[in-house]
Structure formats: C-alpha cells, structure tokens
Amino acid sequence: MVINEIELKRKALIKTAMQYGLNSNKTIECSQELDILLLQEIKWSKDITKQKQVTN
C-alpha cells in the first residue's frame, strides 16, 4: 500500500538528511521520491472520491 511506502520513504528521508545534510543530492533525490509517492496518494484519493460521488 502506498501509505506504508510513504512512511518508509519519509523515514529514509530523515535519515538521509541527518547523514548527508539537507542540500545533498541524496537528500534531494529522496525528497523527490517522497513527493511522487504523496502525489500518487493524492491522485488515488481524488479518484476514490469521484467514484463515490458518481455512485451516489
């Protein structure tokens, strides 16, 4: 499930930022990966909401 992936990536981001700093390429890449997961979750949530509205 995406929520679990989001939580794992969030923890990885914190660890990476603490180890390499906020401006490191590794931290930025990890942050961007988290952004993608969050956007996927938002899109999925919107799709579910639309489906519920259509069926009601």
Whole-model pTM: value is 0.83
Q: To the nearest 10°, the Cα dihedral for 5, 6, 9, 13?
A: 180
Distance CA 32, CA 41 (A): 14
- pLDDT score at 5: 96
- pLDDT score at 8: 98
Look over the chain and give the mean of its residue pLDDT values, rounded to a whole number.
Answer: 92
Convert the pLDDT of each residue in 12-56 to its tens digit: 999 999 999 999 999 999 999 999 999 999 999 888 887 878 776
Give, as one character, the DSSP assignment of residue 20: H
